[in-house]
Amino acid sequence: MANRFENNSILPKLRSNIMYIVLCTVLITLFLYGINMFSENTLSYQEDSLVLALQKDIAQCYAIEGFYPPDLDYLEDHYGLVYDSDTFYIDYTAFGSNMYPDVTILNKSKKTATTIR
C-alpha cells in the first residue's frame, strides 16, 4: 500500500539517469580528445627527431668521408638511420658528392611535408 505522502513520480529518477548519461558521454569525449592530442604531439616529436637525425647523419658523413651520402640507404647502412617508414616517406635527392642533398620528409598520416636545407 502506498503512502499518500510519498512521491512516486518517475520524473526525478528519469532526470537523474539522463544527467548520468550526459556526464558519462562528456567524460568519454574529453578522454578521447586527450588521447588524440597526445597522439598528434607524439607524431610531431617523431618528425622533429627524424629531421635532426637526418641533418646530423648527413653532416657527419660529409665531415668523416668528404662527400654527402649518395642515397638514403647509405645513411641507413653506414650511420644507423632508423625511422618508421609506415608513417614517414623520405624523398632524398643527391645532386653531387659535394652538394647538400635535397631532403623532403612526407608525413603520411597528416599529409604534410618538411624540407631540410
pLDDT tens digits along 63-83: 999 999 999 999 999 999 999
Within 10 A of 75 (CB to CB), how many other CB atoms are there?
Answer: 24
Query: For the chain, how many structural domains are there in total?
Result: 1
- Residues 5, 49 contacting (CB under 8 angstroms): no
Which one has a higher pLDDT value, 7 or 28?
Answer: 28
Q: Answer yes or no: is 5 within a domain.
A: no
Res 9 pLDDT > 80: no
Whole-number percent of the chain with pLDDT over 70: 91
Task: Specify the pLDDT at position 41.
Answer: 81
Alpha helix (H) ranges present in the chain?
Answer: 11-65, 72-79
Q: Answer yes or no: is 25 within a domain.
A: yes
Spatial distance between the Cα atoms of 34 and 39, rounded to a whole number of angstroms: 9
Q: Answer yes or no: is 49 within a domain.
A: yes
Q: Answer yes or no: is 2 within a domain.
A: no
Task: Specify the pLDDT at position 74.
Answer: 96
Q: Answer yes or no: is 93 within a domain.
A: yes
Joined grid coordinates for residue 6: 510519498
Mean pLDDT of the residues in the chain: 88
Task: Specify the pLDDT at position 116.
Answer: 82
Res 40 pLDDT > 80: no
Q: Answer yes or no: is 37 within a domain.
A: yes
Q: Answer yes or no: is 32 within a domain.
A: yes
Which residue range(s) make up the domain with 26?
11-116
Task: Specify the pLDDT at position 13.
Answer: 77
Q: Answer yes or no: is 101 within a domain.
A: yes
Task: Please choose, from the candidates 114, 49, 112, 42, the residue with its C-alpha nearest in 3D space to the C-alpha of residue 82.
Answer: 49
The residue length of the chain stands at: 117
pTM: 0.69
